Structure 1
Amino acid sequence: MIIRTITAALAFALSGSVYAAPTLRAEILVSDAVVTVGDMFDDAGTLAEQPLFRAPLPGTTGNVDVAAVRSATARVGLTQFEVNGLTEVRVSRASTLVDEDLLSTLIADDLRHRGILGQGMSADMLFTTPVEAMQAEATDSPARLDNLRYLPGNGTFSARFTVAGFDRPLDLTGSIAISIEAPHLAANLPAGTVLRPEHVVMRPVSVQQADAQGIANVDQLIGMALNRQSREGMLLRPTDVSTPMTVSKNDLVTIFYRQGPLTLTVKGQAVSGAAAGGSVQVLNLVSKRVISATAIAPGTVEVSTAPMTVAGL
């Protein structure tokens, strides 16, 4: 008799734990368009995936009274649940903001995929009419670019998007301004300045301006000398720089002649300037004659005339 009583009590306890009635939640947040039993209740059991009613629009919240909940659950076979003193349930639907920035990014990604936007290039979109921000479904892809027609000649575009949670496509038009990062001077510098990395700053310019004026690659500028005095903010072009002078006009130099083990030297003064390997006119300070030499290093030039000629210069 005692054993049967204990067994019955244990069975009752187990049945209470296994078949605990679902408990209604006071507030829920859903991502899908339909609210299920599992969304509305704790311990929903095997009925968790059963739909009850449509969720509010993305980014919005609604209240559902308990009577409506009972009506909906009865249709799917759930008749007993714990209310916990609630009179209504607050139902919110998650969302993702779709705005001009996101749509512009999709257009830019498409242009980059086509090869229209290259390295160091960016695109600014100007929509014909302002785009009001939309609350789309909370998905990995809240918006998708379905079609883009871009006319490089005048920069105009037309685009069609699909926005998650919206039945109709979104059609937009506007214009695209494409820019490219270009080197500019970071400070006022005199002619002959040999450019270092800190002298150059990258700033965007329109592709049209870049095509019309021509722009230099940074690697083409560093270590080169400015051809003229230049102001801060100036766009640097290949024609604005040249190879730095190894020997400048009026520099005192040593004139070398080498042939086998023989080396002759004489002091001179540069009459003109030249980069390394370039031809330079030099005044022999002993003979007072001007000769042609090759600049080989700062303060050093070399001639190829015969030794006796050098000695008599």
Structure 2
Amino acid sequence: MKIISDTTLSKAQSVRRVLGIVAIAAMLALPVRGSLAMGLKENVVVSNNTITLGDIFYGLERDEDRVLGVSPRPGQDMVLNARTLLRIAIALDLPWRPTSSSEQVVIRRDATIIGQGAIEDYLKKAIYNEGFTGDFTVRIPPDYSQIVLPRDEPASLEVTRVALNRIKNTFEATVAAPSADNPIQKFQLSGTIHPLISVPVLKENIENGHVIGARDIEFIQVRESDFVNGTIVDEQSMIGMTPRRFILAGRPLRSGDMVAPKIVSRGDLVTVLLNQGPLSLTAKGKALENGAKGDVIRVVNVSSNVTIEALVTGVNEVRVDSR
């Protein structure tokens, strides 16, 4: 009897393993008929209630409309991994095999989505119709930040009921989408009402010395709960003033942030207006002090060298009223 050594037996087993792997690989690659034209649709958007073979694969020679299962809910995703896709291919004798375990198809159900901003706009209108006046905004919980409807439905909703708590500035509402007559989505929610105050702010950063004009001002809305007492609400309080120090754009201001600009500087030549009864006379003077509009400063008459006190009325302009 011929004896086979352990070494020879081990080599034979190794060869068989290699041949087995090659055979499996060849078998996976075997169904090549039409495979060059067939492949996965990796990201798919469907609008129907069912998923078909044609939703997953392209280049099919048959059965494109074959139903495989139920599609995800509107707006949601479904992932078919490589194992599931291989089962489908084997069961339906398709000339396709996954090349790696990472292959997948993501199926998203098409939908009409009503976002948080639109929902809050509908609620705001309903609250306004209940008699809540003035500027305000509403805020709802994150769980109600969107409403998802089937693709063919309009992006609309109806607030069928709203109840206000004017003391706490809260509300409860019932919402139906896309309408009360077709309530595909219907739910109750509660939220908060935030009254708003219009506040003038600077459009751009401005430093001391710049005289603020109407063109420098815009309005923002601040929640009443965030409003700080003493904040300027009348833009006329800002016009003709200058920042006490550098001020950032868009920031609510307080009266202490503004000062009257110095429109007369010490050493400047000024026009002195002298009102004497029905007569008005003018003279040239020299400012001995800085002054803002409305300040009383000392001025020396350059002709007579007499020092007088005068009221600053404009840029390099002062007035003396005779008694």
TM-score band by shorter chain is 0.5 to 0.7
Describe the shift of the 1:168–1:295 C-alpha distance in structure 2 as closer, same or farther (beyond 3 A).
closer
Query: Which amino acid is the alignment partner of residue 256 of structure 1?
Result: L
The answer for the alignment partner of 2:170 in structure 1 is 156
Report whether the alignment pairs 1:292 with 2:309: yes
Residue of structure 1 in register with 2:123 after alignment: 107
Aligned residue identity for 2:281: T
Structure 2 Cα separation of the partners of residues 166 and 149 of structure 1:
20
Q: Which residue of 2 aligns with 1:166?
A: 183
Structure 1-normalised TM-score?
A: 0.53
Q: Which residue of 1 aligns with 2:242?
A: 226
Return the offset for 1:235: 1.5
Aligned to 2:43: none
Are the equivalent residues in 1 in contact too, given 2:272–2:319 (CA < 8 A)?
A: yes
> 1:172: Cα distance to partner?
0.8
Structure 2 partner of 1:271:
289
Contact 2:198–2:221 (8 Å) recurs in 1: yes
Q: In the alignment, which of 209, 234, 238 is matched to residue 226 of structure 2?
A: 209
Q: Pick closer, same or farther for the CA change 1:279–1:62 going to 2, 3 Å.
A: closer
CA distance in structure 2 between the partners assigned to 1:167 and 1:262 by the alignment: 81
Q: Report the CA distance between 1:137 and its aligned residue.
A: 9.3
Query: 1:182 corresponds to which residue?
Result: 199
Asked if 2 retains the 8 angstrom alpha-carbon contact of 1:124 and 1:177, the reply is yes
Which residue is 2:15 aligned to? none
Residue 225 of structure 1 deviates from its aligned partner by 1.4
Residues 265 and 287, structure 2, Cα contact 8 Å, conserved in 1: no
Q: Is the partner of 2:321 in helix, strand or coil?
A: coil
Number of matched residues? Answer: 224
Q: CA deviation at 1:229?
A: 0.7
Q: Kindly tell me: are residues 107 and 248 of structure 1, through their superposed partners in 2, closer, same or farther at Cα, counting changes over 3 Å?
A: farther
Q: CA deviation at 1:161?
A: 1.5
Letter in 1 for 2:287: Q
State the 1:144 CA deviation.
0.8
- Give the drift of 1:130: 3.9
Matched with 1:49 is: none
CA deviations over 1:161-184 (Å, ceiling 9, x no partner): 123333784101233445455333
Report the Cα offset of residue 253 of structure 1.
Answer: 1.5
Taking only aligned residues, the RMSD between alpha carbons, in angstroms, comes to 4.5
- Structure 2 CA distance for aligned equivalents of residues 196 and 293 of structure 1: 26
The gaps in structure 1 that reach 5 residues or longer are 1-58, 64-86, 89-93, 307-313
* TM-aligned CA deviation for residue 220 of structure 1: 4.8
Q: Report deviation, 1:145.
A: 0.8
Structure 2 contact 272–320 (Cα < 8 Å) conserved: yes
Matched residue, 2:103: none
Identity %: 18
C-alpha distance in structure 1 between counterparts of 2:50 and 2:149, whole Å = 16
1:253 is matched with which residue: 256, 270, 273? 270
Output the CA distance in 2 between the equivalents of 1:123 and 1:268: 56
